[in-house]
Structure 1
Amino acid sequence: MSLATTLPANDMGTPSSGVSKAYDATSPEHVVMMRTFYEKVFPYSLYYHWLNGGHSETTKQFQNREFSFTVGDDVYIRYQSFKDQAFMESEFLRLCPSKIDIGAIYTTRPRDKKSVLPSAFQPKEKELVFDIDMTDYDEIRTCCSGGDICHKCWKFMTIAMKVIHAALTEDFGFEHIMWVYSGRRGVHCWVSDERARNLSNEGRKAIVGYLEVIRGGSHQERKVNLSSQLHPHLQRSLEVLKAYFKDLILVEQDVLQRESGWMKMVKMVGDEEMRKELQNSWAKEPDSTSESKWDTLDIVVSKLGLQRKGWKLAALNTVKREIIFQYTYPRLDDKVTTGINHLLKSPFCVHPKTGRVCVPIHPDQFDTFDPLAVPTLDQIIEELRQVEETSGESSPNSGPRKSQLATQTSLRPYLKVFEEFVSGIRRQAQSELNGKFAC
C-alpha cells in the first residue's frame, strides 16, 4: 500500500509564501506553541533511530553528531551534541529552538570541541545532501519570485525530485533516501546509505559534477552545452523534462509571451544563423502564443537542417534539447552537497517565516505533494487541543500516549512516510548485525 497522500489543492495560480495569517514567529504565543510542539508532537524516537544509524544502542554516530540551534531573538548556537535520546529531548524542550540544523558526525563530541586540539576534532561523515531552492528558478518562472510559490512553479521541484531520485537510485544504487519540504520554497534530500555518509568532499563533488548540467551565473545566457549523443542519465532525465515542458514552460509560465522572454531564449541558441532566423520569425508575430513560437523553432531547425551536414547538423538538432534542459533541469546548490561540514535544516522543524512543518515527501507523492497544504504550527496545536478536549486529557504525557497524540493530527501521513524511511535503515542495521554474529 502506498503511503502517498493527495492533499487538498489551493488556487492553482495564486502566489503564496505559505504564511498563515494567524502566525507570528515573534509572539509570546508562538513560544508557547513551539514548546507544545516539542513536548507532544516532535517524533523523537524515529528521529533518534535515523541519526543513530538504525541501531538500538546509542552509538558515536549519534553522540558525535553536530546540531545547531536558532533560539530566542535569532541567537545561533553551534556544536551541540547529545549522549542519548533522553538528553536530546530534554535539550529540545529546554531551548525550544525556532530552527534546528544537522551537521556532520565528528571524531569527538561537538560539545567538547573547545577542550580538544583542532586536529582531534574533524568531520568524519555525513549524509549526502542536496538543497534545491525555488529562487534559483527566478530567471525562468513568471508566476512568482523570491520567497513566494504557487502550484505552477512548484512543478520545478517535482521535476527536480524525480530527476535526482532516479539518478541516486538507478545510477548510484542508493536505497535510503528521504526528501523533505523545506517549509517555504524548496526541498532537501538526505541520502543515509553508509556509502553515501562516508563519501569524502571529493566524492561528493564528483556526484554533483555527474548531476550538474546548468552552469554559469545569472548573467550567463547559455548555461547548457550538450553533446549530440546524450549520456543515459541525461536521456532518462530528458524524458521527464519533456513530459512537463509544454504545460509548465509554454502554457503556465508562458515564457515567450513578451519580447524580453523570447529574446532570452534566442540568446540561449549557440548557432548564430538560427538566432537571427528565430528573432526575425518571432518579431513578425509578437502576439502569437508561446506554443506557437516554440513550433516556429521546429520550422527554423528543419529549414536550416536542409543546408547542414555532419557536426553542424548535429549541433543544430541539440538546440531544442539544450533549451528544455535550461528551463526545467534541477538547479543544485553545490556548496550544500560538497562540504561535509555544511549544516542543513532538520526535518520536522517549523519554518520561522511560514509556520509550516518541514515534512518528508514520499517518492510516490512527488506529483501530488502540495506545499501549500502542509500543516502549520497553529493548525497542529488547534488539532491537539481538540484531541485533548475529546479525550479529557490536557497534561503532557510520555511514552506511547505522546506518540499517539501526534498521529491524531494532520502530521499523520508525513509521520508514516518518516517511519517507513527509518524502518528501512533499521532493517539494514539489523541485517548487518546478524551478518556479524553469523561470522
Structure 2
Amino acid sequence: MGVVVVVREFEPDKDRVGVEEVERKCEVGPSGKISIFTDSLGDPICRVRHSPAFLMLVAEMAGNRAEEEREIVGMIRGCIKTVTCGKKFSRNGKNLKTVPVFTKLAYILGLRVSPSHRRMGIGLKLVGEMEEWFRGKGAEYSYMATDKDNEASVKLFTDRCGYAKFRTPSILVQPVFAHRVSIPKRVRIFQLSPFDAESLYRRRFSTTEFFPRDIDSILHNHLSLGTFVAVVVDVASGDPNHNPSSPWPGSDCFLSDPPESWAVLSIWNSKEVFTMEVKGASRVVRGLAKTTRIVDRALPWLRIPSVPELFGPFGFHFLYGLGGEGPDAVRLTKALCGFAHNVAKERGCGVVVAEVSSREPIKSGIPHWKRLSCDEDLWCMKRLGDDYSDGSVGDWTKSPPGRSIFVDPREV
C-alpha cells in the first residue's frame, strides 16, 4: 500500500511529542561544535514567535487507510519582517541625507526531516509550502542560514529551491569563565533605556543591511536585557560627556556631539528560548575541562581561561546591534563584550555568542574561541517575486556585501 505526506500547520497539543522526537533524531552541527540540543521551554515554535508574523509546518506520513497511525517526519519554521535592503539619497531642502530602503523579508528556520524519511522530497515539499505562505503575506525575499559544510542543506536550497549564496557572516562564541572579566578603568559603560536605544540605532544603523524596521519591538521585548554604550573616560579633558560621574546625556545629545570613539551592543537572553550542547568530546577532553573549572573557581585572580560545562544542555546570551566609531572602537567593543560576559556569568550561562559580517570593522574586538566558533556561516537568499517596494535597489540577491549586517536576535 502507498503512503502520502501531508504538510499542515503545527498544532501544539497534538504535535508536540512527534516534533520533539524528530528533533532528537536530527543531529544539528558537526561533532565537537556547538549544536542545538533541546528547546528549554518545551515550545517548538518559541524561536520565531517573537517575530511580527510566524508559522510552523509539520510533514505527516500516513498510509492510505484512515485508521493507520500518522507519524510526524519533518517540520519547518518561518517568519516575516520588514528590513533594510539598501539605501538611497533623499534631499530635504538643501540637505542631502542617506535613508534606508526597506523590503518585506521572510526567514526559514529549523528545517528538519527524520533520517529514516530523507531523500523522499519531504524537505522540498516543506520549503515549497512555506514559500507559498511567504508569498501570500507579501514577502519579496526569502533567506535561510546553514553551516557551509552542510552539503545536503546547501544542495537542497541552491540546486532545488532556487536560492543563491548571499552572505557569509562569522559566528563568534566565547565561553563564560568562573572568574569575572576586568573592565579597563578608563572605560565608562552606560545602560540605555529601550527608547534611547531605539533612537541611537535608528539614527546610526538604520541603513545597515538587515536592520529591522520594528527595532522597537526587539528592544522592548522581555528577552532583551539591555543596550550598553562604552566611551573612554578622560577626566582631565574637562568634557562632561567623558566625566566618570556624569549621567548618560541621552542619545540625541550624545549623537549631536559624540566622543571621538564609542561602541554599542545589546544583549538577548537566548537562555530562556532553548539550550545547546557540545557533542563529540572525549573523556580526556571533558576531564581537562573540569580541571580548568576547578582551578579557576579556587584561584579566580589567575584568570584562567576555563572551559564551562558545555557537555550537557546549557544556555547562552546573544550579542546583537554591535557597532562603533572612532580609533578606539575595537578596544571599547572588547570592554563591552567583557561586560556582557559578566552579565552572562551572573545569569548562569555557558557561552556568549555574537554574529557579525566577516568584514565588520570591530570584529577583532569580539573575544571568541575558534574551536567553538564558525568563521563562515552561510546565508542563502531567494527573490520571491518581481515587484519591489522601491526600484532603486533592484534585485537584492545580486547586491555586493557591505561592511556590516544587523543580525536579528529573534531568529538566532
| TM-score by shorter chain over 0.5 | no
Larger Rg: 1
**Structure with the bigger percentage of helix:** 1
Give the TM-score normalised by structure 2.
0.23
* Structure showing greater relative contact order (alpha-carbon pairs closer than 8 Å, 6 or more residues apart): 1
Give the TM-score normalised by structure 1.
0.22
